[in-house]
Amino acid sequence: MSDLLERLRGRGWRMTAQRRVVAEVLDGEHVHLTADEVHTRAVAKLPEISRATVYNTLGELVSLGEVLEVATDKRAKRYDPNAHRPHHHLVCAQCGAIRDVHPDGNPLADLPDSERFGFTVSDVEVTYRGICPTCAVAA
Amino acid sequence: MSDLLERLRGRGWRMTAQRRVVAEVLDGEHVHLTADEVHTRAVAKLPEISRATVYNTLGELVSLGEVLEVATDKRAKRYDPNAHRPHHHLVCAQCGAIRDVHPDGNPLADLPDSERFGFTVSDVEVTYRGICPTCAVAA
DNA sequence: GTCGCACATTAGACACCATCCAAATCAGGG
DNA sequence: CCCTGATTTGGATGGTGTCTAATGTGCGAC
């Protein structure tokens, strides 16, 4: 993740303690936090960080293409730092757990011209839903 | 759509003017209204209908499986009455226009066991993103 | 090293979407 | 036609995200 900080500095980002903390929180695989969760964890490392800064920073990371917004949850947006390895999501319908997955094939190719209605299609987002092992046992 | 009303009555739904109006509003192909838009259109037909009733009715239609909630828009939930013909969505990244599409192939089959993490996968949701013809011309 | 200023951060108000609630109303079986 | 439990209502409430004006600060210039 220090890669990320390097890359951002290279793009003229001013390096602040707040931004460093947000970047640290968004580290790892299968990380899909809401803005509020990011804020909570950031506060643990830097008590005076404000909600607005977390939102600002997340928004910047998204427009720089370093973090993805995912809408698997219908309540709040979630942020996925794994932006450089294209992937989709597998969500537990019960507990909301999210895993990154890498399906075979390219769903873009499955959309025939006749179904494109003249759109220039550039991207596709796939969400698989099911029940995770933990919830299956509990049921 | 009167089919819908019949089916609901058969399931023991008490038929009220409000529910009839909501069902009428949610009629047609490529209809993807937000709850608020449904409310606005419902008020045009039945001025005294309240927001809470629209939300209640939409929620009931969703749990009965007659209407789908779609999260293509990151602001508000949208409601799709085309629940009985499985389909996916094509969204204009610029203006937000939504079309129903029917891709070839079955994306569920593209998820190998090794990528399922023990989940029982039952459903998949696909959102294509691009630029619609109207916005392409305007650009 | 230090200065300056454009860029960042902050707290809190605000807007939007959705849900909850207690009281009033109504559909439809008997 | 009446009764009862389902339904509707309006307003309060809560969660998520954005905005603003005032304050603070990273970092290039010197």
Per residue in B58-112, pLDDT (tens digit) is 999 999 999 999 988 888 999 999 888 889 999 999 889 999 999 888 888 899 9
Residues 78-97 of B with CB under 8 A from A: 90, 92-93
Three-state DSSP at A27 gives: coil
Whether A2 has a pLDDT exceeding 80, the answer reads no
CB-nearest to A130 from B102, B121, B133 is: B121
Q: Which residues in chain A are classed under CATH 1.10.10.10?
A: 2-80
- Verify whether the Cβ–Cβ distance A119 to B71 is below 8 Å: no
CB A132 within 8 A of CB B119: yes
Tens digits of per-residue pLDDT, A77-103?
999 998 888 899 999 998 899 999 998
Cβ neighbours of residue A62 under 8 Å, at least 6 residues apart? A68, A69, A79
In chain A, the percentage of residues whose pLDDT exceeds 90 is 71
Whether B1 has a pLDDT exceeding 70, the answer reads no
**Residue with CA nearest C1' of nucleotide D19:** A52
Q: Which CATH number fits domain A88-138: 3.40.50.300, 3.10.150.10, 3.30.1490.190, 3.20.20.370?
A: 3.30.1490.190
For residues A111-118, average pLDDT: 95
The dihedral formed by the CA atoms of B77, B82, B88 and B90, expressed in degrees to the nearest 10: -70
Q: Which CATH number fits domain A2-80: 2.60.40.1260, 2.60.40.10, 3.40.50.10190, 1.10.10.10?
A: 1.10.10.10
Per 3-state DSSP, what percentage of chain B is helix, strand, and coil (rounded to 5)? 40, 20, 40
Cα Rg of chain B (Å, integer): 17
For residues B21-44, average pLDDT: 94
What whole-number distance in Å separates Cα of residue B70 and Cα of residue B89? Answer: 9
Q: Which residues in chain A are classed under CATH 3.30.1490.190?
A: 88-138
B55 nearest nucleotide via C1' and CA? C18
- Verify whether the Cβ–Cβ distance B124 to A128 is below 8 Å: yes
pLDDT band at B31 (very low <50, low <70, confident <90, very high): very high
